[in-house]
Amino acid sequence: MHDATTLQSVDTDLLIIGGGTAGPMAAIKAKLRDPACDVLVVDKATVRRGGSICRGMDAYNNVVVPGVADVDSYVESIRAMSDGIFDEKVNRVLGERSFEVLRDLEEWGAATFPRDAAGGYIVEQLHPFGRFLAEMRGDIKPVMAKKCRELGVRTMDRTMATRLLTHEGRVTGAVLLGVRTGEVTVCHAKAVIMCTGSQGRFGLPETGYLFGTFDCPYNAGEGWSMIYEAGGDLVNFEFLDHTALIRDFEGPGHSTFTRHGAYLINALGERFLFRCHELGEHAPSGLRAKAMQAEIGLGHGPLYYDLRHLSDETKTIIKDGLFSCERPTEKAFFELKGIDIGLQPVELVLAGPHLCGGHGLTGALVDEWGRTTVPNLYAAGDVASTGLGFVGAAWVFGGLAAEHAVGRMADIAAPVVDMADVHAEVARIRAPLGGNPVNPPQPQPPLHNDEGNDPREVEYKLRRHIKPLLDSPKHASRLRDLLGKMAGFRADIDRIRVTDWHDVMKVLEIRSIADCMEFSARASLLREESRWGMPHTRLDFPERDPAWNGTYVVLRRGADGGMVVTRQPVRSA
């Protein structure tokens, strides 16, 4: 593996970082708005299969289907799930634009939506009230990638964005790293849409596998690190999401099963969730997770999904969704275990924690156009705090961010890049190689730093501290203990050995994991109350404090480079 010898350069109007769910939608909408706009999508994997829904999804969540639900009820349902810590205008726009996206996906042939006997869409309930999950099938990603190509969208696969570039407080591009070649590219862009997904690689899974996570493990939170370094605001990092998963199979289950009427039962066969909340399986996710944790603590585990009471027709729909588009390997898993999910209870575990703007509340602070607090920088998908918006938020705000950026492209000045910032970033990228990178970059020998810490061991060391020190139930002493260890963790990261450019990418990802740990610990310290159930329970502040109603914890980089943690009212509608 040989090192890159020179900096490459690429110019574009609109740079989209991340080719998973939101990114391709943003690219398509940008080209449909203005075919002359130059659009570039970069992804660490490939646009064709990258991201959290690389094999598709069995439901479109969230969508307001006319005649089934309305926007007002959607907003009120999200208000209940978020306990009022949400931007009403953002969620109202999501509700208003979500069905338009459904029709787009149908028109493009990217997804199909099964119908019921009356010819209507099959829409089920997961939220506290209202039905906002439309049954969905289709190999979405390859179709959207093909449409991007047809429209003239440029793509750079196997390419990682490592740092946003700014000039006079405005984003003007990014530094890109070829994860197989080591080639560094400076991208000049008038506007950037960040679509890098969640922090899926956070708490250690029950299986112990570093990459055996519910959410896409290649989403390591680097989008948040980049936004933070560029001066953008981050919110709700104290909200740690937990997901009920099938034991030994790190994949979906809860929404698929319960939206079709499955029960959660304990080892005694009891539906225990009603002891926690009157809505049972439809209670807000954080309260469900806390109830599950409590039930296990009472000695009533293991816990199970129970589908036995469902009709054969409903069981067929569930199996078709899980075993075709969502997780085909799940069918083989159950067969090897000798389990028929329609006839036997399915054991589950409580996975996490992880940080996510779609399944949770964490992310970049954005408005109804996906604009962050940094001019010319947008965010869409799980990297943005859009209030439990799931894949619907990715598609809606990917499209809205693109439309807004393209609409003002003529008014944006030509991007200016400070090469001193570029060279500093090149030095940061190349630090794991050992030695002192020359500035400007000169030819370097092949990768040679084979001494130091194994990247997997360092990542394991960081992530094994998350559950005992950062996860609920939280306490100030534990959070401060974690913060006190951060300097040592970062020193371990600096001593990671690398053998190829993929290892260099791992180092950058592990740095982002460390960033997210610090973001979450500092935000959790400031919110001196308990809220949302399991996402944020403080032993030292066990009660919900009304003084925190409608209030964000905001993180931003200070002028001196230090982290500023403040409280800020949620924007009124």
Q: Is 332 helix (H, G, I), strand (E, B) or coil?
A: helix
Q: How far is CA 417 from the centre of its chain?
A: 29
Give tens-digit pLDDT for 369-385.
Answer: 999 999 999 999 999 99
CB 62 within 8 A of CB 123: no
What dihedral do alpha carbons 136, 138, 143, 147 form, nearest 10°? -30
Give tens-digit pLDDT for 323-381.
Answer: 888 788 889 999 999 999 999 999 999 888 999 999 999 999 999 999 999 999 999 99
DSSP H or E segment with residue 429: helix 419-430
| Strand partners for 567 | 553
pLDDT at 446 over 70: no
**Cβ of 335: how many Cβ atoms within 10 Å?**
11
Please state the rounded mean pLDDT for residues 544-548.
Answer: 98
Give tens-digit pLDDT for 209-246.
Answer: 899 888 888 999 999 999 999 999 999 999 999 988 89
Q: How far apart are the C-alpha atoms of 490 and 344, rounded to whole Å?
A: 47
Among the ranges given (148-152, 195-199, 332-336, 435-439), the one the predictor scored with the smallest mean pLDDT: 435-439
DSSP letter for 205, please: P
Q: Is 397 helix (H, G, I), strand (E, B) or coil?
A: helix
Q: How far is CA 98 from the centre of its chain?
A: 19
Query: How would you class 369 by CB atoms within 10 Å of its CB: exposed for 0-12, middle for 13-18, buried for 19 or more?
Result: middle
pLDDT at 447 over 80: no
The residues, ordered by sequence, that sit 6+ positions from 428 with a Cβ below 8 Å of its Cβ are 162, 163
Q: How far apart are the C-alpha atoms of 93 and 95, rounded to whole Å?
A: 5
Q: How far apart are the C-alpha atoms of 198 and 27, rounded to whole Å?
A: 20
Closest by Cα among 225, 221, 220 to 163: 225
Instruction: Report the helix count and the strand count for the chain, using DSSP H and E.
Output: 15, 18
CB 496 within 8 A of CB 510: yes
User: What pLDDT does residue 328 have?
Assistant: 83
**Cβ of 414: how many Cβ atoms within 10 Å?**
8
Q: Is 546 helix (H, G, I), strand (E, B) or coil?
A: helix
- Cα–Cα distances in angstroms (integers) from residue 431 to residues 386, 422, 446, 454, in the given order: 35, 14, 14, 15
User: What pLDDT does residue 207 have?
Assistant: 81
**Cβ of 191: how many Cβ atoms within 10 Å?**
29
CB 193 within 8 A of CB 405: yes
- In 121-219, where does DSSP find H-type helix? 140-151
DSSP H or E segment with residue 533: none
Q: Is 537 helix (H, G, I), strand (E, B) or coil?
A: coil
Please state the rounded mean pLDDT for residues 253-282.
Answer: 92
Q: How far apart are the C-alpha atoms of 232 and 557, rounded to whole Å?
A: 8
Please state the rounded mean pLDDT for residues 508-528.
Answer: 98
Tokens, residue 452: 């130091």
Give tens-digit pLDDT for 182-217.
Answer: 999 999 999 999 999 999 999 998 888 899 888 888
Q: How far apart are the C-alpha atoms of 569 and 573, rounded to whole Å?
A: 12
Q: How far apart are the C-alpha atoms of 40 and 12, rounded to whole Å?
A: 7
Residue with tokens 């370097």, as numbered in its chain: 444
CB 173 within 8 A of CB 15: yes
The residues, ordered by sequence, that sit 6+ positions from 449 with a Cβ below 8 Å of its Cβ are 432, 433, 434, 497, 498
Give tens-digit pLDDT for 86-96.
Answer: 999 999 999 99
DSSP H or E segment with residue 504: helix 501-526
User: What pLDDT does residue 434 have?
Assistant: 73
Give tens-digit pLDDT for 67-88.
Answer: 999 999 999 999 999 999 999 9
Closest by Cα among 407, 405, 359, 403 to 381: 359
Q: Which amino acid is at 212?
A: G
- Cα–Cα distances in angstroms (integers) from residue 399 to residues 89, 93, 379, in the given order: 17, 12, 11
Q: How far apart are the C-alpha atoms of 518 and 483, rounded to whole Å?
A: 7
Q: How far apart are the C-alpha atoms of 348 and 295, rounded to whole Å?
A: 13
Tell how strand 8-17 and strand 39-42 pair up.
Answer: parallel
Q: How far apart are the C-alpha atoms of 24 and 418, rounded to whole Å?
A: 29
Q: What would the 3-class secondary structure string for 40-82 be? A: EEECCCCCCCCCCCCCCCCEEECCCCCCCCCHHHHHHHHHHHH
Q: Is the dihedral of CA 379, 382, 384, 389 positive or negative?
A: positive
Q: How far apart are the C-alpha atoms of 296 and 172, rounded to whole Å?
A: 51
CB 395 within 8 A of CB 119: no
The residues, ordered by sequence, that sit 6+ positions from 506 with a Cβ below 8 Å of its Cβ are 455, 459, 496, 498
Supply the DSSP string of 368-407, one letter for each residue.
TT-B-SSTTEEE-GGGB--SS-HHHHHHHHHHHHHHHHHH
Q: How far apart are the C-alpha atoms of 292 and 351, rounded to whole Å?
A: 11
Q: How far apart are the C-alpha atoms of 66 and 96, rounded to whole Å?
A: 10
Mean pLDDT in the chain? 93
197 torsion bin: left (phi>0), alpha (psi -120 to 50), beta (else): left
Tell how strand 241-246 and strand 263-265 pair up.
Answer: unpaired
User: What pLDDT does residue 450 have?
Assistant: 63
